[in-house]
Amino acid sequence: MDKLVIEGGGPLLGEVRISGSKNATLPILAATLMTDEPCTIRNVPRLRDTMTMIKLLKSLGKTVEFNENEVRVSSKGSLNYLADYKLVSTMRGSFCVLGPLLAKLKRAKVSLPGGCVIGIRPVDLHLKGLKNLGAKFEFEAGYVMGKTNSLKGNYVYLGGDFGSSVLATANVMMAAVLARGETIIDSAACEPEVEALADFLMAMGAKIKGKGTSRITVNGVKKLHGANFSICSDRIEAGTFVLLAAATKSNITLTGLDYTHILALIDKLQEAGLKFQHADGWLKVKCQRNLKPTSITTYPYPGFPTDLQAQFTTLMAMTPGVSIITDKVFPDRFMHIAELNRMGANIRRDGNSAIIQGIKTLYGAPVMASDLRASAALVIAGLAAKGKTEIHRIYHLERGYENLEEKLVKLGAKIYREKE
């Protein structure tokens, strides 16, 4: 197992290209299960999660080729309906094969994904929505076993305790595409990744209206064909680099992104005093030496994303003054607090909020990554801190950031790997 070693304390400079979206890639790959024709998907990030989904598609009977950042999926025969525990348990996003398998095969056996360190994330909304379309479910030995004689369009309400669910919306929308009649998904997730999935399904012949809104209407079709598609940019990677620039007092230009996908972040950083320039496809972050403490509350899109909460917490930890970070999407997503405090931060948790007394400087220390976004937060902290930081369990980073070290080195970061 490797660890990251960072010698921080200096500004970065240059240009970084944002990779394709991980959270858009996974359900789009799952959607290829619903056609027998070849699909070519471009701008696919080479990540651990991507490789897990490719392994899952292969186990279900697909032929998959991954060259550079292009994935080609084709059929080699009949599909398997079993999504094995060994693959689904390593990545929650793989649960989105449930809807496509039910739509294509009328049955599915998919391992329950379980919880994770950022909090338990149940699949009740997935099952509720698919039941409304005519699926029936049983549970056995950690598996969801679903079957249907025929999926039929219906009204589906997907509102949950913490708002809409991206993966539940994806599962229901994919199943509805091959269901008979009209399906209306109310309280649907509005995230760009859901919109990208709708675009891909429409490229395959699906009939969908309302993408990007909280009400999606799907008129079922009998068959889907193959498609060529390009994945949208990763808004969470983009936001992470913006926050990295702010924390290290750097001037960095991001390319290959849609800055409108991170307007909630940009708005809060402008409130804190950061300056931006932008146009189609690029965003320039202009360092402001003295930022103001700024509080945030996470919400589903277009609100402030929970996937940037840990990174924003890092920035506020080194911004003198008091700020409050509240997470209403994943109330337990604060594993990074203890590690930031090891670096000198002054943060305490109060329920689903973090109370931050910002200081001027963090100091390098050995820290432990607990999850994907907490890992990114610690990388930002290490780059901004004085001295040397060692980050352990960095395999989390490989799940969601393509070529992160290479990109950081090009910006002038002193970062390298060592064996534990």
What pLDDT score was predicted for residue 35?
A: 97
What pLDDT score was predicted for residue 121?
A: 58
- Does this model's pTM top 0.75? My answer is yes
Q: How confident is the model at residue 350 (pLDDT cuts 50, 70, 90)?
A: very high
What pLDDT score was predicted for residue 160?
A: 84
Check whether 92 has a pLDDT greater than 50. Answer: yes
39-42 and 228-230 beta bridge pairing:
parallel
Q: Higher confidence at residue 101 or residue 88? A: 101
Q: How confident is the model at residue 77 (pLDDT cuts 50, 70, 90)?
A: confident
What pLDDT score was predicted for residue 161?
A: 81
Q: Higher confidence at residue 368 or residue 114? A: 368
What pLDDT score was predicted for residue 114?
A: 55
| Mean pLDDT across 182-194 | 98
- CATH tag for 2-18+233-419 (out of 3.65.10.10, 3.40.50.2300, 3.30.420.40, 3.80.10.10): 3.65.10.10
The proportion of the chain whose per-residue pLDDT surpasses 90, expressed as a percent, equals 88
116 is catalytic: yes
Check whether 145 has a pLDDT greater than 50. Answer: yes
pLDDT tens digit string along 26-73? 999 999 999 999 999 999 999 999 999 999 999 999 999 999 999 999
Q: Which of 39, 116, 190, 287 is the catalytic position?
A: 116
pLDDT tens digit string along 211-261? 999 999 999 999 999 999 999 999 999 999 999 999 999 999 999 999 999
What is the rounded average pLDDT for all residues in the chain?
Answer: 95
pLDDT tens digit string along 102-137? 999 999 999 988 545 545 557 899 999 999 999 999
| Mean pLDDT across 348-352 | 97
Check whether 363 has a pLDDT greater than 80. Answer: yes
CATH 3.65.10.10 domain extents, the chain: 2-18+233-419, 22-230
Check whether 280 has a pLDDT greater than 80. Answer: yes
Q: How confident is the model at residue 196 (pLDDT cuts 50, 70, 90)?
A: very high
Q: How confident is the model at residue 87 (pLDDT cuts 50, 70, 90)?
A: confident
CATH architecture group of domain 22-230: Alpha-beta prism (3.65)
